[in-house]
Amino acid sequence: MGIIFSYKEKQVRDKDLLLVLFRGGFFLWRRRKQQEKQ
């Protein structure tokens, strides 16, 4: 039971990390696009 719970916790943490990386990459991509327009 404890192992499954800790595995789920790790899964959630990995998802959060992916989400942060994805949002950061999207933000940088959008900013670069705006700079190209100028």
pLDDT in tens, 4-13: 667 677 777 8
Whether residue 2 is predicted with pLDDT greater than 90 in this model: the reply is no
The tally of domains found in the chain comes to: 1
pLDDT attached to residue 5: 67
Q: Cα 18 from chain centroid?
A: 3
pTM: 0.52
Q: State how far the Cα of 18 lies from the Cα of 16, in Å rounded to an integer.
A: 5
Report the SS3 class of residue 1.
coil
pLDDT over 60 (residue 1): no
The dihedral of CA 18, 20, 23, 27: what is its sign?
Answer: negative
Confidence check: pLDDT of 25 > 90:
yes
Cα separation, 19 vs 13, in Å, equals 10
Domain span at residue 34?
1-38
Predicted local confidence at residue 14, as pLDDT: 82
